[in-house]
Amino acid sequence: MECSGKLTPHLMMAVGTAVIGSLQFGYNTGVINAPQAIIEQFYNETWIGRFSEPISQSALTALWSLSVAIFSVGGMFGSFSVGLFVNRFGRKNSMLGANLLAFLAALFMGLSQLATSWEMLIIGRFIIGLYSGLSTGFVPMYVEEISPTSLRGALGTLHQLGVVVGILLAQVFGIESIMGNSSLWPLLLSFTLFPAILQCVLLPFCPESPRYLLINCNEESLAHGVLVKLRGSDDVSEDMQEMKEESQQMMRETKVTIPELFRSPVYRQPIFVAIMLQLSQQLSGINAVFYYSTSIFERAGVAQPVYATIGAGVVNTVFTVVSLFIVERTGRRPLHLTGLMGMAVSAVLLTIAMALSDQLVWMSYISIMAVFSFVAFFEIGPGPIPWFIVAELFSQGPRPAAIAVAGFCNWSANFLVAMCFQYVEQLCGPYVFIIFTVLLLGFFAFTYFKVPETKGRTFDEIAEGFRQAAAQGGDKYSAPEEFNTLRGDDPDL
């Protein structure tokens, strides 16, 4: 159907409103880094006010580490709770309700300096982590369920675009002359209030997921009306038929719980794929590269390393946009494989450049190129694809539980990297990127042999592929064979 794959105003409005949640996640991920010294000074002054002596270095490090890591802990709890909300309240109302957490977090963080309480700041970081964990489940699920099959990948990439734009905004706002100073840092942290208000204003004008209305609520007429608006056409029979078939399949299945995802041979393969893709994102070394970027730029003689780091954020954003435009042409598998291999090569180049930078001055410039290359390849594949492909791998029944498990694994890996990286880096120095290179090559091999192509396939067709593989025996499943079968004579696949 020609009309079913076009970008309509209602679809753009719904997707754009949803990815405000993605922007919030990105903003609150990056916002804590720039004002670190100022917030540590606030901790010290508060400690002196309470105990009449300066805070010890170990206590300050522990408080700061907790302030950063508690965000990921909140994210772990939030992401694991996704299924509790989306089936009970729907996709749209779940996103709307989650903003209460954003309001509460902004209040705690914004008033922490006035109340001279670091506890309020840390509690605020935990609450906004809860919100972000929920958003990383709600947003991709909603976007995938309202998108036509031919645009699912491109619109799914908008979640990651929202994340990187949020990180970039946090980097820019964190400049000392804007809000990264001793008087305005509470506003910098509580700025999350404003996107939350905007989303609360816009969401009531957005439709509920038609798949949720038909399959979960059995509201066929409502689902039909929503699809007509989203597709910009009265003829939505193909979409309705596909959802009805999926609904019938779901009725034949027992209720899918999280343990069932691992017990059932039908779901075991796709949940394993989903988890590994999430790990390939967080264990790729992207956070380590951003951690190293400032020192790399300083070593290269950049006068204001913060602006070079913002430059890396711009590269982040630009290549997410590139992925958005090519994901439906090239497919998910080729982009993810290209991104992983490009990152592995960039990591080797970065290791060599950093190891030789003291002997050869010009190697510092090679290291800058390697940083930008690493970031660019991350956003080509491992950045955006794991978020939305999880929703594609599962039909309506198991989708909420699968997204909860995958999101929990993503946030858990994020937390582990944040807690362990500094110790591993102290042991290995610049050679820490060799560890990430090995991991990237392992994820490349896994993607090649186990991750199916989902481009142009309905949710039920993808699920049917796994059902057939389970019937034949899991060991016989081969992603390359399936990819070649699907590709046929289509040069774009």
**pLDDT value of position 293:** 75
What is the pLDDT confidence band of residue 258, given thresholds at 50, 70 and 90? very high
- Choice among 55-64, 195-204, 425-434 with the minimum mean pLDDT: 425-434
| Residue 38 near residue 273, CB atoms below 8 Å | no
CB 274 within 8 A of CB 393: yes
18-62 pLDDT tens trace: 999 999 999 999 898 888 889 999 999 999 999 999 999 999 988
- Residue with the bigger pLDDT between 432 and 298: it is 432
Among the ranges given (178-187, 276-285, 466-475), the one the predictor scored with the smallest mean pLDDT: 466-475
Q: What is the mean pLDDT of residues 399-408?
A: 95
Q: What radius of gyration do the chain's Cα atoms show? A: 23
Across the range 436-455, mean pLDDT stands at: 96
pLDDT of residue 1: 35
Question: How confident is the model at residue 363, as a pLDDT?
Answer: 87
d(CA 393, CA 477): 15
What's the pLDDT at 209?
97
443/276 Cα distance (integer angstroms) = 8
Tokens of 121: 């700041």
CB 102 within 8 A of CB 192: yes
Tell me the pTM: 0.91
Q: What average pLDDT does the segment 179-195 reach? A: 97
Query: Cβ distance 108 to 120 under 8 Å?
Result: yes
Q: Residue 34 contacts by C-beta under 8 Å, 6 or more apart in sequence?
A: 170, 171, 174, 175, 180, 188, 306
- Residue 220, pLDDT > 70, answer yes
Mean pLDDT of the 284-291 span: 82
The conformational region for residue 302 under phi > 0 = left, psi -120 to 50 = alpha, else beta, is beta
* pLDDT mean over 192-206: 98
Instruction: State residue 333's pLDDT score.
Output: 96
> Which of these ranges, 271-275, 349-353, 423-427, has the smallest mean pLDDT?
423-427
DSSP state of 103: H
Phi-psi region of 429 (alpha: psi -120 to 50; beta: other; left: phi over 0): left
Instruction: Look at the block and give the residue holding tokens 């997921």.
Output: 209
Question: Which amino acid makes up residue 422?
Answer: Q
What pLDDT is attached to residue 251? 82
Q: What is the pLDDT of residue 417?
A: 84
Specify burial of residue 451 (Cβ count, 10 A radius: 0-12, 13-18, 19+).
buried
- pLDDT higher than threshold 80 for residue 365: yes
- Return d(Cα 121, Cα 113) in angstroms, integer: 8
The more confidently predicted of residues 479 and 77 is 77
Q: 488 falls in which pLDDT band (50, 70, 90)? A: very low
Read off φ and ψ for residue 236, nearest 5 degrees.
-120, 25
What SS3 state is found at 285?
Answer: coil
Question: What per-residue confidence (pLDDT) applies to 459?
Answer: 87
CA 254, 255, 260, 261 torsion-angle sign = positive
How many whole angstroms separate alpha carbon 357 and alpha carbon 296?
Answer: 10
Cβ–Cβ contacts within 10 Å for residue 490, how many? 10
Residues 303-342 have pLDDT tens digits of 777 788 888 899 999 999 999 999 999 999 999 999 999 9
Please give the mean pLDDT across all residues of the chain: 90
Q: Which of 272, 285, 264 is nearest to 452 (CA)?
A: 272
Structural contact between residues 18 and 142, judged by C-beta atoms closer than 8 angstroms: yes
Give the pLDDT of residue 491: 47
Calpha distance 384→156 (Å, rounded): 8
Q: Out of 77-91, 118-132, 243-257, 286-300, pick the least confident.
A: 286-300
* 3-state SS, one letter per residue, for 328-368: HHHCHHHHHHHHHHHHHHHHHHHHHHHHHCCCCCCHHHHHH
Give residue 41's pLDDT. Answer: 96
The full length of the chain comes to 493
Lowest-pLDDT range, 97-101, 338-342, 347-351, 418-422?
Answer: 418-422
Q: Above 50 in pLDDT, residue 451?
A: yes
Q: In the predicted model, is pLDDT for residue 3 greater than 50?
A: no
How many angstroms separate the CA atoms of 76 and 243, rounded?
31
pLDDT of residue 86: 95
Alpha helices by DSSP H, listed for 232-362, are 237-252, 258-263, 265-282, 286-299, 305-330, 332-356
Beta-carbon contacts of 470 under 8 Å, excluding residues fewer than 6 positions away, are 264, 265, 266, 268, 269
